[in-house]
A and B are shown apart, each in its own frame.
Chain A
């Protein structure tokens, strides 16, 4: 049973560029949440996708956008990159159809460095 997978593992970009990160959820999961983790900090919630729609969003600017596909996989897009966007980007999947809080399982993350 494959867990949550993310690609790429590492990425280097320059300021102003755009980046797309990808996530495949754990088998049987239909909900994907994205988190940003700065060095030495806890993960910060970006947004969550369920049934191909964004259903909750954290305090992140519109430069951060996402998408969920019919197979439940998801993308995180960040436009006009800033130095401060350098972080570990984590994807977590869970089962959302029950309507209850279900365990979120995290992938290994994508380490983004903006120069």
Chain B
């Protein structure tokens, strides 16, 4: 069946540290992956996405790594800031056709000053 899970429900880091949030997926047919950040009382905010023809993609202070062999996805946040505190979701989907996304339960990132 479809499932997207996360290894850690809560991650606590100090300001300035690098954060790594992990995600496992089970649907080998998935070829599109996306990370969202959700702050309290708000909708999910797009961070970065990656397609299965890539194993790494970088954005501003963020990097997503995809390991299709072990069905693992990670989000790295450099120089974590208090404003990065939120719940982070990974989601999987198919690259073509219908655009349904399957979300995991999320990881809460807590950044201490």
- Residues A79-103 near B (CB distance < 8 A): 90, 92, 94, 96, 99-103
Within the complex, what minimum Cβ distance (angstroms) separates B37 from chain A?
11
A-B contact count (CB 8 A): 67
Binary flags per residue of B95-113, CB closer than 8 Å to A gives 1, else 0: 1111111111110000000
Binary flags per residue of B16-37, CB closer than 8 Å to A gives 1, else 0: 0000000000000000101010
Nearest chain-B residue to A31 (Cβ)?
B99
Q: Is the CB of A106 within 8 A of B98?
A: no
Tell me the bound Cα distance from A55 to B98 in angstroms.
7
Residues from chain B with Cβ under 8 Å of A96 in the complex: 99
Size of the chain B interface, CB-CB below 8 angstroms: 27
Q: Is the CB of B43 within 8 A of A90?
A: yes
Q: Is the CB of A56 within 8 A of B98?
A: yes
Size of the chain A interface, CB-CB below 8 angstroms: 29
Tell me the bound Cα distance from A109 to B51 in angstroms.
27
Partner of B43, one of A101, A103, A107: A107
Nearest chain-B residue to A107 (Cβ)?
B43
Binary flags per residue of B44-85, CB closer than 8 Å to A gives 1, else 0: 111001010000000000000000000000000000000000
Q: Is the CB of B96 within 8 A of A100?
A: yes
Q: Is the CB of B105 within 8 A of A40?
A: yes
Residues from chain A with Cβ under 8 Å of B45 in the complex: 106
Q: Is the CB of B43 within 8 A of A58?
A: no
Binding site for B on A (CB under 8 A): 4, 31, 33, 35, 40-45, 48, 55-56, 58, 90, 92, 94, 96, 99-109
- Sample (23) of A-B pairs whose CB atoms are under 8 Å apart: A4-B43, A31-B99, A33-B99, A33-B100, A42-B91, A43-B44, A43-B103, A44-B103, A45-B100, A45-B101, A45-B102, A48-B99, A48-B100, A90-B43, A99-B96, A101-B93, A101-B95, A101-B96, A103-B46, A104-B46, A104-B101, A108-B42, A109-B42
